[in-house]
Structure 1
Amino acid sequence: MKDEDKDMSLVEHITELRKRVILVLAVFVVAMIGGLFASSYVIDFIKSVEPAKSMAWHAISLWDGIRIYMQFAVGISLVVALPFTLYQVWAFVKPGLKEHEQKAALRFIPFSVVLWVVGLAFAYGVVFQMAVYFTTKVNRGLGLTEIYGVSQYFSFMFNILIPVSLLFELPVVVMFLTQLRILNPRMMKKLRRFAYLVLVIVATAITPPDFISDFLVAVPLILLYEFSVLLSARVYRKQLDKDKAWEEEFYGKKQEHPV
């Protein structure tokens, strides 16, 4: 009987997961359809500001126009569907969390969306602008005639925007792993030198090969790591306080915990 209950519970669990995946896909498709209509406005805006304003775009392939519309539609749908997707993930794991863990995890959703938007703004306003300036300068220095294909231009842009914006989700990931007691601030401090090295390598990989560009991108990423350490310490202290309260309640004594 117990095995049957477990089997039924597993079936219900899978059914619940399938339902939420279908909801996420439905929202994504609807948002993508809306993104097709909004794409033209976003593209017109990008074309009206630098660096695209001073460029002449060309279609290298017959599919370039359609490809660009689809890329922007998918990008817009990801931004729209992200909060809903995170909420569905939270709702799925909610039954297995304690009440305070449910509230803490729910607060991650708006925070992660804000970081995603900030990451996109930083990627476009800083990293992408520097990359275009550097590559254009090199091309002109070689005496090349600049004929930019619209598909290549936006592919270049998205290849920068997506990785950088994902890096800005680091604080949310750190808080979540700390909440699960997989990570803690002491561990992050011990890994600080290694983390700095990795972030500098990442900054070097996504920026033009000059010191100023690398510096302007590496410093915000390092500050983001230090911000993640502070958030991890905050979550960790709350966990220690709750552990102490539990020990006092059941054992009637206090135990020291290193922070």
Structure 2
Amino acid sequence: MEENKEMSFLDHLEELRWHLVRSTLCILAFTIVLFVFQKQVYNQFLLAHLQPDFITYQWFCDVFTKIGLESSFCNIQFNAKLQSLAPTNQLMNALWSSFILGLILSFPYIIWEMMRFITPGLTNKEQQKSKGFIVIATLLLIIGLSFSYFVIAPMSVYFFYNYQITDLIVNNFQFDSYIGLITNTLLGVSVVFELPLIVYFLTKFGLITPEFLKTYRKHALVLVLIVSAIITPPDVASQIIVAIPILILYEISIWVSRIIVKKQNQK
């Protein structure tokens, strides 16, 4: 009996290994494709925020002008030249950026593989719900990527390019630092937008409760406002644009946690 259980456990590990292998191959495939087309990826995607006519700058300028607010987005000037200070900088950065973007693009497939591994141990009803989980996770990822790329990233680039302690200091940024800012923003915000799903599982496992989230709501509000003030230009309108979606996600997370606890209590 013990031997059968051990074999069953080993078979389970073998199945998990193949799920991980397929997920890794998917990441590598995206990484290779992105690396092959690195010039297009950098010129049209990663470095696009250095163009004064980037869609977000134009949109913010139009909106703020229509509501009667002055905005520095209407007069943007960038030094679009970035420095590469080491012989291997560009190659290593291209490899790393391709990997990070490949990881982000592979996320829906990774979730799908994860659910394929979990679903055999679920009931039929839970298996049907798992399909919705994949759709929601992918949708939140797309929203998070769009928000980070079209809102947070351009605000961050504009702010750091124009922040100056004194005229004696010139902002002349390193290429890898700039690309790291963009890729880290894309990855970090994408994870933040998965907050409702993260809270769902943490509540399922009994690690957090809706009461806990409500108790620390004020702390979360302060933290979000601080982060918004750091990564946005120094005007209230920009900070509000960044803070509102994150606060909405936090409230949705409380609602999700409350539903899970209610269902568990009913059972």
TM-score normalised according to structure 2 size: 0.76
Closer, same or farther: CA 240–148 of 1 in aligned 2, 3 Å: closer
The alignment partner of 2:250 has SS state of helix
- Contact 1:46/1:52 (CA < 8 Å) preserved in 2? no
Cα drift, residue 169 of structure 1: 0.8
Look at both structures and tell me which one has the larger radius of gyration over its CA atoms.
1
Cα drift, residue 66 of structure 1: 0.9
1:154 maps to a residue whose letter is I
Residue of structure 2 equivalent to 1:126: 151
Residue of structure 1 equivalent to 2:195: 170
**Aligned-partner Cα distance in 2 for 1:186–1:133:** 39
**Aligned-partner Cα distance in 1 for 2:89–2:204:** 45
* Greater length-normalized contact order (CA 8 Å, ≥ 6 residues apart): 2
Cα drift, residue 122 of structure 1: 1.6
Note if 1:67 corresponds to 2:92: yes
Note if 1:226 corresponds to 2:251: yes
Residue of structure 2 equivalent to 1:44: 43
Residue of structure 1 equivalent to 2:231: 207
Residue of structure 2 equivalent to 1:85: 110
TM-score normalised according to structure 1 size: 0.78
Q: Which moved more, 1:166-175 or 1:57-66?
A: 57-66
Cα drift, residue 22 of structure 1: 1.4
1:107 maps to a residue whose letter is G
Residue of structure 2 equivalent to 1:250: none
Residue of structure 2 equivalent to 1:32: 31
Closer, same or farther: CA 60–72 of 1 in aligned 2, 3 Å: same
**Aligned-partner Cα distance in 1 for 2:51–2:260:** 44
Superposition pairs for residues 17-28 of structure 1, below 5 Å? 17-28=16-27
**Aligned-partner Cα distance in 2 for 1:202–1:47:** 22
- Contact 2:196/2:252 (CA < 8 Å) preserved in 1? yes
Note if 1:57 corresponds to 2:56: no
**Aligned-partner Cα distance in 2 for 1:47–1:219:** 25
Give % identity: 25
Calculate the aligned-residue CA RMSD, in Å. 2.9
Residue of structure 2 equivalent to 1:108: 133
Residue of structure 2 equivalent to 1:99: 124
- Contact 1:57/1:149 (CA < 8 Å) preserved in 2? yes
Structure 2's unaligned 5+ residue stretches are 53-77
Cα drift, residue 227 of structure 1: 2.1
- Contact 2:112/2:134 (CA < 8 Å) preserved in 1? yes
Cα drift, residue 167 of structure 1: 0.8
- Contact 2:83/2:173 (CA < 8 Å) preserved in 1? yes
User: May I ask how many residue pairs the two structures share in their alignment?
Assistant: 240
Closer, same or farther: CA 124–141 of 1 in aligned 2, 3 Å: farther
Cα drift, residue 60 of structure 1: 1.8
Structure 1's unaligned 5+ residue stretches are 244-259
Closer, same or farther: CA 195–59 of 1 in aligned 2, 3 Å: closer
Q: Deviations over 1:26-80 (max 9, x none)?
A: 2221221112123321211137744256412332221222123213311331133
Q: Which moved more, 1:127-136 or 1:43-52?
A: 43-52
